[in-house]
Amino acid sequence: MVLGATDTGKSICTLLFAKFWVKHGRKVGIVDVDMGQSDLGPPTTIGMVLINKPIKNLAEVSADTLYFVGSTSPLNYFLPTICGTKKLVDEGKKKGAEIIIVDTTGLVKGNPGRTLKENMIDIISPSHIIALQRRDELEHILKNINLTDRIVIHRLSPCTEVKRKTYFQRREAREEKFREYFKQSSSLKINL
């Protein structure tokens, strides 16, 4: 599981780990929980993809399975976010993923961030957590992980090359994802 605030390189980290394990012959599942800036599906969804051949970036693949959350933010949508993540992790295991990497949302601040991440960790039970933090912004989450759960925590600094996006850049990226996802769609009129 990859944790970090917004713009810490969680998706890049996820891709690098996936590429490493695929290169070493493993079947990797990626669960993209970032329903606002998803790499695998349209905004408002959580996506899962299985990767068993080399890729350069996640734009080369599309989700094998999507879970509709209904919001571009997990705030006020904790239950569908956690349930959807669990369902897609389980789906990846059923489809033969040997390693599953969960790329989480950037919501880590305060009580909402702590509550979401602690419950997600409890439900998913990851064996490793990659904690990408600039200072100590994840420590209020990490300090509550029970050491008897046998979760290995790797505290890393984000890459200096990670670019911070503005609100408007994020909004434009979401709009483009919606356009791309629905470009082949057509209107359907249903008489009730």
pLDDT at 147: 64
pLDDT digits (tens, 9 = 90+) for 63-72: 999 999 999 9
pLDDT digits (tens, 9 = 90+) for 77-133: 999 999 999 999 999 999 999 999 999 999 999 999 999 999 999 999 999 999 999
- Would you place residue 48 in the very low, low, confident or very high pLDDT band (cuts 50, 70, 90)? very high
Task: Name the more confident of 164 and 11.
Answer: 11
The predicted model gives 8-16 an average pLDDT of 92
Domains in the chain, please, with CATH?
2-182 (3.40.50.300)
DSSP one-letter string for the chain: -EEE-TTS-HHHHHHHHHHHHHHTT--EEEEE--TTS-SSS-TTEEEEEEE-S--SSGGG---SEEEE-SSSS-TT-HHHHHHHHHHHHHHHHHTT-SEEEEE--S--SHHHHHHHHHHHHHHH--SEEEEE-SSSTTHHHHTTS-GGG--EEEEEPPPTTPPP--HHHHHHHHHHHHHHHHTT--------
Sign of dihedral through CA atoms 166, 181, 84, 128? negative
Is the pTM value of this prediction over 0.95?
A: no
